[in-house]
Structure 1
Amino acid sequence: MTHPATDTPPNPLRKFDITGDEIDRVVGVFYARIRTHPTLGPVFAAHIGDWPSHEAKIAGFWRNAILREGSYNGNPMRVHVSTPEIQASHFPMWLDLFCEVLNAELPAEIAVRWDALARRIGEGFRMGVVSMRQPKDAPPTLF
């Protein structure tokens, strides 16, 4: 069976049926919304000077996570932990906004599956931010 948008066989390792173009579109719409978000917009704007390059990099992240393209090279955990303006409280806002975009841009089944993946990844980043920033002798934060 071929994928209708590309007329090539889908990668059997992909997590769900979506095209690279659809991923690119979702990422673009999401970052357009981020730029106007009252809390998240300023955090992103302080660190992203070239939005098209950032969007391409993040689209590569999602293409790798979903389509297994090997199209991303980076360490997103290190970036999130080492950026003090990024707070654990930002992740639920980020994920809720991302979910809104997914639901607006994609069929429901694909939106639900991508949202579940994003929430697992986002929770990992949130936990990394919390644990890496706490004092070394402090007990772990389990929230």
Structure 2
Amino acid sequence: MADTGASITEDNIHRLVHGFYDEVRADALLGPVFGREIAPEAWPVHLAKMCDFWSSVLLRTARYDGRPLPPHLRMPDLSDTHFARWLTLFRATADAVFAPADANRVIALAERIGTSFRLSIALHRGEDTMKVGPLPRG
């Protein structure tokens, strides 16, 4: 039986974050959104912050000190279509980086984070949060 978490390392978290955001930036739907929100010169800082975030979530390093939700609340055009595409790209990258059991764990966390963000956005917009559920796997 494989060691749970054996492929969840700082190096692989770096590969996940950088590989994922390479895909995001090239994506027809997400690229323009991220291009609008993150200036080209700010990408190194953003990537480092996302490595810290995932290190904190996956390895409990407590390196991330921030609030990831507020920037998403300020984007009026952010929709379930964006989150679904984000998760599709994230799943593919996680599957490519981690051993299967670890990839499933990382993906499940991303799905929960995505649902939490979608619920918070709906609440912030005054929408019916009862209509927010898990996004289908695509």
- Same fold per TM (> 0.5)? yes
Task: Indicate the RMSD between aligned Cα atoms, in angstroms.
Answer: 1.9
Aligned residue runs from structure 1 range 24-43, under 5 A: 24-43=14-33
| Residue 127 of structure 1, aligned match among 116, 119, 128 | 119
Runs of 4+ with deviation above 4 angstroms:
none
Shift of the alpha carbon at 1:73?
Answer: 1.2
Q: Which has the higher contact order (CA 8 A, sep 6+)?
A: 2
Shift of the alpha carbon at 1:127?
Answer: 1.2
The answer on whether the counterparts of 2:13 and 2:54 sit within 8 Å (CA) in structure 1 is yes
Which has the greater radius of gyration? 1
Give the structure 1 partner of residue 5 of structure 2: 16
* Matching of residue 109 in structure 1 with residue 101 in structure 2: yes
Q: Measure the CA separation in 2 of the matches of 1:122 and 1:16.
A: 22
Bigger helix share: 2
Shift of the alpha carbon at 1:62?
Answer: 0.6
Matched residue count? 127
Give the structure 2 partner of residue 77 of structure 1: 69
The answer on whether the counterparts of 1:88 and 1:129 sit within 8 Å (CA) in structure 2 is no
Flag structure 2 segments of 5+ consecutive residues without an equivalent.
133-138
Q: Measure the CA separation in 2 of the matches of 1:83 and 1:94.
A: 15
The answer on whether the counterparts of 1:88 and 1:130 sit within 8 Å (CA) in structure 2 is no
The answer on whether the counterparts of 2:87 and 2:111 sit within 8 Å (CA) in structure 1 is yes
Flag structure 1 segments of 5+ consecutive residues without an equivalent.
1-14
Q: Measure the CA separation in 2 of the matches of 1:124 and 1:98.
A: 16
Q: Measure the CA separation in 1 of the matches of 2:46 and 2:68.
A: 12
Cα deviation, 1:74-109, whole Å, max 9, x if unaligned, reads: 111112112224223311110111001111122111
